[in-house]
Amino acid sequence: MTRSENESFKPSSLDEASSAELLERAYGLETPKQALELYRDWATTYDTHLEQGLHYRAPSRIAEILAEVLEDRSSLILDVGCGTGLVAEYLAHLGFKLCDGLDFSPEMLEVAKKKGIYQSLVEADLEKPLQIAQGSYDAAICCGTFTHGHVGPQALGEICRVLKPGTPFACTIHNHLWKTAGFSLEIERLESSGIATLESVREESYFDGAPADGKYCVLRRH
């Protein structure tokens, strides 16, 4: 194979075993250091592995769900745990052009930056307070971040803090963590404190053909 042929070569079918192996590694994370190492290694092949290898449907579905409750296409949206920008790409297809991205992996943010779909990108840890002013955004969206070994439920309140009153926050939360990790309790706290209301919950799969392993939620900031 010549050099030019090698540069443009793409396999006809993705190695699904390697895709599944990376997903298993993601679900087995136990520390922030492990997460940073995973996404450092995964950044350049993340989109291909998830969309072609594993038929990842969650980014398109959560974008559609947000679009159902957010009519103004000029809204400024915070894409939380944006990774390489899969969600923002779907939002752009739906007419939303103003997105900021936030993630803790510099390698993933570098991939997202090259797509040219974000107004700005912020490297930040969702386990800590965000350096973002209260009421900065018209909406927020988060896909695949509230899952095994990633970010805990305390981040929900911090995300709500940066939203304007009355605005939506669409997110996915893995079913296994809904109660065991305290997400349901945190949402109850947000509701009882008058911070946000859980407007809707749908149980759907993250991957085509898989069981309904995720809760697709819309919270509404008070």
Domain ranges (residues) in the chain: 15-53, 58-221
On whether the CB atoms of residues 204 and 61 are closer than 8 A, the answer is yes
The CATH classification of domain 58-221, taken from the options 3.40.50.150, 3.30.365.10, 2.30.42.10, 3.40.50.970: 3.40.50.150
Q: What pLDDT is stored for residue 46 in this prediction?
A: 72
Q: For the chain, what is the mean pLDDT?
A: 87
- Confidence check: pLDDT of 52 > 60: yes
Q: Which is more confidently placed, 60 or 46?
A: 60
Q: What proportion of the chain, given as a percentage, has pLDDT over 90?
A: 70
Between these two residues, 24 and 181, which has the higher pLDDT value? 181
pLDDT for 38 beyond 80: no
Which pLDDT score, from 0 to 100, does residue 54 have?
Answer: 74
User: φ, ψ for residue 185 (rounded to 5)?
Assistant: -65, -40
Evaluate whether 191 touches 164 at the Cβ level (below 8 Å). no
209 conformational bin, left if phi > 0, alpha if psi -120 to 50, beta if neither? left
Q: At 95, is the pLDDT very low, low, confident or very high (cuts 50, 70, 90)?
A: very high
Contacts of 7 (CB under 8 A, 6+ apart): none
Contact status, residue 167 vs residue 195, Cβ threshold 8 Å: no
Q: For position 87, what pLDDT does the model report? A: 97
Which pLDDT band, with edges at 50, 70 and 90, does 23 fall under? low
What's the confidence (pLDDT) of residue 13?
41
Question: What value does the mean pLDDT take over residues 173-199?
Answer: 97
Residue 12 confidence (pLDDT): 32
Half-sphere exposure of 42 (CA within 13 A, CB side): 23
> How many Å apart are CA 189 and CA 197, to the nearest integer?
10
pLDDT at 55: 84
Query: Whole-model pTM?
Result: 0.84
Split at pLDDT 50, 70, 90, the class of 9 is very low
Mean pLDDT for 126-141 is: 96
- Residue 37: both structure tokens together: 């190492």
* Rounded alpha-carbon distances, angstroms, from residue 59 to 3, 181, 217: 35, 22, 13
What pLDDT was estimated at residue 150?
A: 67
pLDDT value, residue 25: 65
Q: For residue 211, how many other CB atoms are within 10 A of its CB?
A: 11
Q: In this structure, are residues 170 and 66 in contact, taking their beta carbons and an 8 Å threshold?
A: yes
